[in-house]
């Protein structure tokens, strides 16, 4: 895992086609803007974890 410090307005690029930009930062809360191709799913962490638990309970 790569851990980076970014300030509002700064961004990182993943695989030349995904851009994650910090658009706001207040007292520990962040707002991120994610620009990615439409075929790349973007899911909040809590939704991802719920989906993973559901899939594991089906097996």
pLDDT in tens, 6-36: 999 999 999 999 999 999 888 878 899 999 9
For the chain, the structural domain boundaries read: 11-58
Residue 58 has pLDDT above 80, yes or no: no
Give the contacts of 24 (CB within 8 A, at least 6 positions apart): 8, 30, 31
Q: Is the pLDDT of residue 59 over 80?
A: no
Of the candidates 13, 5, 32, the one whose C-alpha atom is nearest the C-alpha of residue 21 is 32
Closest-CA residue to 19 (of 37, 41, 43): 37
pTM (global) more than 0.85: no
From its phi and psi, is residue 23 left (phi > 0), alpha (psi between -120 and 50) or beta? alpha
């Amino acid at each position: 895992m790569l851990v980076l410090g970014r300030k509002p307005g700064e961004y990182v690029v993943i695989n030349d086609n995904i851009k994650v930009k910090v658009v706001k930062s207040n007292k520990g809360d962040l707002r991120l803007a994610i620009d990615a191709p439409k075929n790349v799913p973007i899911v909040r962490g809590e939704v991802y974890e719920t989906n993973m638990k559901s899939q594991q309970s089906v097996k």
